[in-house]
Structure 1
Amino acid sequence: AAPAPAKDPVRTVRPGQRVDAGRGFTVWLTRKGKHWTGPDGYENFRSVVDGNIDRSEPGVSHQSEGDATGVFHSGLYYGTRKAGRVELTDAEGHRTVATLVALPGRPDWGVWYAHTPAAGNGGGSLGVTLYDRAGRLLDELPGFDFPTGRG
C-alpha cells in the first residue's frame, strides 16, 4: 500500500472566515492582511499590502498580548509558498509549535498563532522561527531579555 500523503501543515481558510484560535481569540485573513480579536472584542489588523513587509524574502512577524492566565502570540509569515512550521522558543529552550493558516491558492503569506503560559518566557521575549516543509530555517526573530528595572 502507498504511504498516506503528508498532512498539509497549513490550514486553508476562505477570506473573512473566522478561525477560533482558542481562549477567546479569533483570527481571520483578508486579501489585505491578518485580523484578530481577543476576549476584549477589540479588532486588530496587520497589513500585507501597505509596504511594511518585504514579501520578496522569507520573513516572520510577531505580536503578543496576554494576562496572568496566558499569552496569545500571532504574526505573519511571508515571502514563501512553502511554509512548514513556525516555532516559538523561550529562554529555557521550551518550544511551542504554532498553527498556520492561509488563503486559497497558497499566496506568499499566511498567519500563525499559538498560546503560551503567562510565566513561560522567563522575563524575556520569545524567539520566533519560520521553517519550510523540509525543516530548513527560512527566518527567525531572536528572543531577548527585558532590561531589569523597567516596567
Structure 2
Amino acid sequence: MEHALGTWGQPALTEWPYDPEADPEGIIPDSAGTPPWHLADLTPVPLNPDAILNALVRGQVPMVMIEVRDSFYLPAGRDELDHLAAEEKFYGNHAVVVVAAATRAEQSWYLIRNSWGEDWGSNGYAWVSAGYLESTLVDAAVLESTTPDT
C-alpha cells in the first residue's frame, strides 16, 4: 500500500471513477492523466482494530488493506460484515478507508469506504466488526501528507 501510494499516487475519484466493467489490466482513462498523481506519505499503524480506533480518535484517517473473500462482495443495500466463514475463497487484497467507529452490543464496529462505487454496501460504505477486520487485516497506515499532481 505504501509503495503504491508513494510511487504511483491516487487520482481523484472524479477523474477515474469506478467502472465494474473495466478491465483491471486495461488502459488508464484519459481523464485520469498520467502518474504520478496525488502522492502520499504514510505512517504504518499496528495491525489491530484498537490501533485503528486510536488513529481515528487522533483525527487521522486510517487506510487498511484487507483480504477480499466471498463475504466482501456485498449485494447493494447490505452494509454489515460480521464474520468470515471458514470456507470463503480468497481473491486478493484490497485497500479501503476507515472513516468512523462505533460500539454496538459491546462490540466494536468500523465504517469503511470502498472504492467500488455506490452499488457496493450502502452507497459505497459498510460496517465491519472488529473480528472481521482483525481476521482480514493485511496492512494499515495513516495518511500524513500528499503531494499535488506535478
Sort the TM-score into its range (normalised by shorter chain): under 0.3
Structure ranking higher in helix proportion: 2
Structure with bigger RCO (C-alpha 8 Å, 6+ apart): 2
TM-score, length-normalised on structure 2?
0.27
TM-score, length-normalised on structure 1?
0.27
